Structure 1
Amino acid sequence: MSEQVYHFGFGVDARYVKYAGVLMTNLVHQHLGQPLCFHLACDGIGEEDKRRLDAFTMLYRNVELYIYDMTKMLDRLNQIRSDAPQRLHRSVLLRVLLPAYVPQNVERLVYMDADMICLRPLDELFRLELGDNAVAAVSIHSAKNSAALKLSSGRYFNAGLLVMAVPVWRSRELTQRVVDYYQRHSENPPLLEQDALNAVLDGEFTELDECFNFLVEVNNPLTIKYPETAAVLHCVNEAKAWTKGCMPQIYALYWRYVRLSLWHDLQPSEPNTAKAVFLAGVTAELNGEKDDAIKYYGAVAKRLMEYYLEEKPELLNK
């Protein structure tokens, strides 16, 4: 009897391919010797990343990699509304498209956002019984989200990690149904494909333990703690593990895999929202990095002044 292959899926735009590469390295090192197959759905991909991905499959002989360039498919969908948060771009829709395009022999696919860190092997996800459900996910107990979508079940999940029963997904034509919902409501759902998935499934999902999608705000000292049982950390909101200002414990976890990866020359990115810049200043201050703290606090003060000059000039004259 052949050993089970673990299939993992990711959806990224060209800028995020490198972060998917680091996560794939992370997963390889958490599943040493285990046959793995990665399915990378891309909204564009650069030549340098193609070269590194080719080298990746040569380096790890237990790994197979499929790359799907879905740029043209995304071009056919409605554009993401202009007021969507910066962290949401159209590549988030790839998690909905991918199950329809993986090879026919794939029965179980674990989809993961590229801003995740795997802390231990995920064998349970490939043994999990889903019953008649197409998806397993971590539930978010949010009456607000359920009410906004008018979910009769009152059950809502986070789509950052999805365990997919691919044959069931296909038999229920979920890719087409979720895309149709998104196309009809693309100006309304605040969380785009996550809301569309929840609206179509309306509670028909198997609930995962929170440990498989534990949400952390990596630059916020108030929300950085996670339990020892956590299997996957999900870096939510604008700051990521690769953003300057990340708390030291998360930085150490993530950059260990950066150094092990073929993207070892990756550099931390600058925070790009006022909140992230402010929290980068807090982190720098906690770490005793006075110059960085001054830089980030000064940048926040400048942004606030620009805001008041443009939007609320009358308040500055009081």
Structure 2
Amino acid sequence: MSNDTIHIALGVDNNYFPYAGILITSILLNSPENNIIFHIALNEILSDDNRKKCSKFNNIYKNAQIKIYDLSEQIDKLPNLSIYTDKRFNKSILLRLLLPKMLDTAIKKIIYIDADMLCINNIETLWNMDIAANIIGACPYKEKNGQEQIKRLGLKNNQYFNSGMMIMNLRAWQEKNITEIIVECYSKFYEFFLLPDQDAINIVLQGNIQKLSFKFNRMLAANNRLLAAYERDDILLHFVNEAKPWLDGNTAAIDELYKKYMHQSLWNDIKFIEPDTAELMILAGENYEQKKDYKKAAHYYKKAAKQLFTENLQDNND
């Protein structure tokens, strides 16, 4: 077993805590020889069910521990998200800006990961990355999307980075008061930010971010066969936008992969969520058709048709 304890941070609300639990389980199953401490920040008081699961987790795993940080008071002091921000987000996404300041100064570095990710290989490969000359290491957006964000924010460097996975040089972060600087940037310009925490991080840390391989943050869509591919040596899969792995009707491969880790976790009782837009319903129908489950495919095609009819009727009335 490695003597070097790996520190991993997450920021969630109570609704996302079970998904964080499944992610944590996938990390442990792929890194059995490592000691790992998971630092989980919340923007609200931990619910009874999540607290019980957390306590059970800490009793079961001898090489891992979950530590909880209630940052609701600090989050409440920050401005609400911009009206331009995607409605899927809430202020819990700002937890990644605040948590580094709360951590013990003896911790030299930490990996931050979003809860909508899954680990499929040993996390130690990421932990051993040397980013000493920079404040964080992260994966950039691909060319077209990246250039759009660079132009929107007026960035001087030619990279726009995803904040869903960051390895942080915690000592440099704390010494340079990065939390305070980024929070000030967010508080000043939040009304113009589409991706609040991510925009602020890219503005403040431009020139101090080490570019990492996409295998550490492979962005994909769980429900779209054209956008669900990943490489065998990838470490972390990141399910972006609305296509989450706990949504019903994903591709057969992603569904099988996610359920493999879910069933081995303490959070094996989660309920999969039904798609709520016509686009998601159509993709679910296509995936069930591929699985030869024609009854479920027809269910989602019918729901999609009904929703599209309702939306078009409303548009005509307007």
Q: Does 1:90 align with 2:124?
A: no
- The equivalent residue for 1:278 is 282
CA displacement, residues 29-83 of structure 1 (integer Å, 9 cap, x when unaligned): 1111311100000122211110010000110011122101112211111111344
User: 1:256 maps to which residue?
Assistant: 260
Work out which of the residue numbers 215, 219, 224 in structure 1 matches 2:223. 219
Among residues 189, 193, 205, which one is paired with 1:189 in the alignment?
Answer: 193
* Secondary structure of 2:23 counterpart: helix
Aligned 1:33-72 pairs, distance under 5 A = 33-44=33-44, 45-72=46-73
| Alignment partner of 1:298 out of 302, 307, 312 | 302
The farther-off stretch of 233-242 and 300-309 is 300-309
Amino acid in structure 2 at the alignment position of 1:52: K
The answer for the alignment partner of 2:205 in structure 1 is 201
1:170-194: CA deviations, max 9, x gaps?
1121111111111112121111111
Spell out structure 1 runs of 4+ moving beyond 6 A: none
Alpha-carbon distance in structure 2 between the residues aligned to 1:82 and 1:302: 29
Conservation of the 8 A alpha-carbon contact between 2:131 and 2:137: yes
Corresponding residue for residue 28 of structure 1:
28
Tell me the alpha carbon deviations over residues 130-184 of structure 1, each in whole angstroms, 9 at most, x when there is no partner. Answer: 1321100011232111111110112211111100010101112111111111111
Question: Are residues 1:178 and 2:182 paired?
Answer: yes
1:111 matched to 2:115? The reply is: no
Aligned to 1:123: 124
Q: Distance in 2 between matches of 1:53 and 1:267?
A: 19
Which secondary structure state, in structure 1, belongs to the residue aligned with residue 219 of structure 2? strand
Give the match's secondary structure for 1:295: helix
Residue 288 of structure 1: aligned partner: 292
**RMSD between aligned alpha carbons?**
1.5
Q: Which secondary structure state, in structure 1, belongs to the residue aligned with residue 27 of structure 2?
A: helix
Q: How does 1:141-160 map to 2 (within 5 A)?
A: 141=143, 142-160=146-164
Deviates more, 1:161-170 or 1:199-208: 199-208
Partner Cα separation in structure 2 for residue 83 and residue 47 of structure 1: 34
1:272: Cα distance to partner? 2.5
> Which residue number corresponds to residue 234 of structure 1?
238
Mapped to 2, the partners of 1:121 and 1:77 lie a distance apart of 36
The letter for the 2-side match of 1:180 is: E
Give the aligned residue type for 2:200: A
Which segments of 5 or more consecutive residues in structure 1 lack a partner in the other structure?
Answer: none
Matches of 2:165 and 2:255, distance apart in 1: 21
| Percent of residue pairs bearing the same amino acid type | 31
- Give the secondary structure class of the aligned counterpart of 2:159: coil
Cα displacement string for residues 71-125 of structure 1 (whole angstroms, at most 9, x for unaligned residues): 2211111111344223322111111111111122111100111111111102222
Per-residue CA distance 1:225-278 (angstroms, 9 max, x = gap):
112221111001112111101111111111111111111111211122332222
Residues in 2 aligned to 1:72 and 1:159: alpha-carbon distance in whole angstroms: 23
Give the match for residue 99 of structure 1: 100
Q: How far apart in 1 are the matches of 2:5 and 2:60?
A: 18
Is 1:7 the counterpart of 2:11? The answer is no
SS of alignment partner, residue 15 of structure 1: coil
Q: Is the 8 A contact 1:133 1:204 kept in 2?
A: yes
Q: Which residue pairs with 2:140 in the alignment?
A: 139
TM-score, normalised to structure 2, is 0.94
